[in-house]
Amino acid sequence: MTADDADGLLTGSIRKPLVRQVNVGLACNNLPAMTTDARETHLRSLIRDVPDFPQPGILFKDITTLIRDREAFRDVIDGIARAYRGLQIDLVVGVESRGFIFAAPVALDLHAGFVPVRKPGKLPAHVISQSYELEYGRNTLELHDDAIVPGQRVLIVDDVLATGGSLEATIGLVERLGGVVVGVSVVIELGFLGGRGRLAGHSIHSLITY
């Protein structure tokens, strides 16, 4: 398993047997009129299950089938952004690499800037680094050391909250530069992995929880 695999991959890995799904509300402007539960069920129906990927015994939650649907993709972006409109977000930080898919359009919606957090060696200027523990070893994320001005209000966006390691590291990077983490928002939360506990003290927003 790679470092990405251990922290959730594209948009989350679920080890068999499957756990019971837990519904969380999502208001979708562009989908047909329906109840909140029905809207979430519709979005769930667009996420493809891929068995035994990236290794035997893993049921992989693939978001590519969700984001290729333009209306559903738009409603996911709206579902994230609407939770933070009016909260004076200065910057939206996206976590490499699937977090970029959602963070950049959310930044546009919120009239905020976009800042990428990347793997080592991907950013060209001087960086600060933060490492975190994985099931099998360690991983590191980096952020340009001039990306955030102290006091700026920051929203962190990623595709998945799994064990919480990459998001915990991202929070650490933002706070080391003096940024104020207003919230952390993800499309999917794998609640049974307990990643939320690693982010104690921060507001967590998720659209779909397994």
What is the Cα–Cα distance from 20 to 181, expressed in whole angstroms? 31
Strand order in the sheet with 113-117: 113-117, 91-95, 153-161, 180-189, 204-209
Bridge partners, 144 (sequence order): 127
User: Of 39, 98, 196, 198, which residue is the catalytic one?
Assistant: 98
Does the annotation mark 135 as catalytic? Answer: yes
Closest CA to 162 of 200, 195, 203, 205: 195
Does the annotation mark 98 as catalytic? Answer: yes
Dmax (CA) of the chain:
49
Q: Is residue 200 within 8 Å of 180, Cβ to Cβ?
A: no
Catalytic residue positions? 98, 135
